[in-house]
Amino acid sequence: MEKIQILMSTYNGEKYINEQLESLLKQEYPNVSILIRDDGSKDSTSSIVGEFKEKHSQIQLIKGKNVGVISSFFDLVLQADEDADYFAFCDQDDYWKPTKLSRAISLLEKENPSIPLLYFSKLDLVDDQLKFLKHSQIPPRGAGLENALIQNIATGCTIVFNRAMLELFKSKVPDVEKVTMHDAWFYLLATAFGKTVYDEESHLLYRQHSSNTLGMANNKLKSAMIRYKNFQKTGKEKPFTKQTEEFYRLFKDKLSSNQRKIVEDFLYKRESFVNRLLYTMNTPLYRQNQRDTIIFKLLYALKSY
């Protein structure tokens, strides 16, 4: 049976880490190891993990310096087991259903293992007591490079990927300062050089609490406010532009001619107002929400994206 390794980054997660670790240990898929990197927690997180490690041999713990979530997850990927076939990103405060890994593996095993594969799924949004709130939306336009350049729809805690994807990542490790988030980078790689597998079933409880409000938009007003704030940040910091520049720097020679045109047009059509305007009228890039696509085009025309 093929082996899967869970890659978990922790930081000051003492409040929920017990529940999450218990859910990982209850996975029905039998061949599982757990690699945890503590990102310099100042609370009892690492000691809690250490106690679990003493009782369960499949758990490994790396006590690292505080380098931030992106670097922490990238370090986990670089230190992943050489004999594992699949890898799953894991957050410290969610709760996995027992079928989380077996479901992902069952879908991934239907695909060609020689190409980079990335599984991600729908979510059950729950409150801090794991009470169900709602399901996450199914991406209506689906995955694609044209989406990944300006949006990430692969929520990290749902992601499972194969060894070919791991090797692709390791072949050209990006500057973390240029990456939007670890899951966004993997989604971008998968849409460019591999295949994404989206699961319309949810096998994970995605906890919403005071330090994690992004997915909590359970009314139209709050959703609009979150969307507005996100686009404000995007317009100011241009995270997806920076990430695309880094992607192009590393993988320019690996892109097909069509992919190269898509990336280059996004990066370089912004040099003049006329070019920006023409580009927004014909761009193949899209976000899942049509209103967000319109906002993207407006911001691009104003040279704010």
DSSP character string of 242-294: HHHHHHHHHHGGGS-HHHHHHHHHHHHGGGSHHHHHHHHHH-----SSHHHHH
> Which SS3 state, helix, strand or coil, does residue 205 take?
strand
Residue 185 belongs to some domain of the structure: yes
pLDDT at 215: 45
Please give the pLDDT value at position 227: 64
In a domain, 63, yes or no: yes
The pLDDT of residue 237 is: 79
Task: Report pLDDT for 209.
Answer: 77
Q: How many CA atoms lie within 13 A of 244 on its CB side?
A: 24
Alpha-carbon torsion (262, 264, 268, 274), positive or negative: negative
- Please tell me the distance from the alpha carbon of residue 291 to that of residue 2, in angstroms, as a whole number: 43
Q: What is the pLDDT of residue 305?
A: 87
Same domain for 233 and 87: no
Residue 146 lies in a domain: yes
Residues 195 and 224 in one domain: no
Last residue of one domain, picked from the residues 178, 207, 236: 207
pLDDT of residue 213: 39
- What pTM did the predictor assign? 0.94
Which domain range does residue 104 map to? 4-207
**In a domain? residue 162:** yes
- Point out the residues of the chain with pLDDT beneath 50: 213-217
pLDDT of residue 230: 65
Taking each helix axis from N to C terminus, what angle separates 182-193 and 163-171, rounded to the nearest 10 degrees? Answer: 100
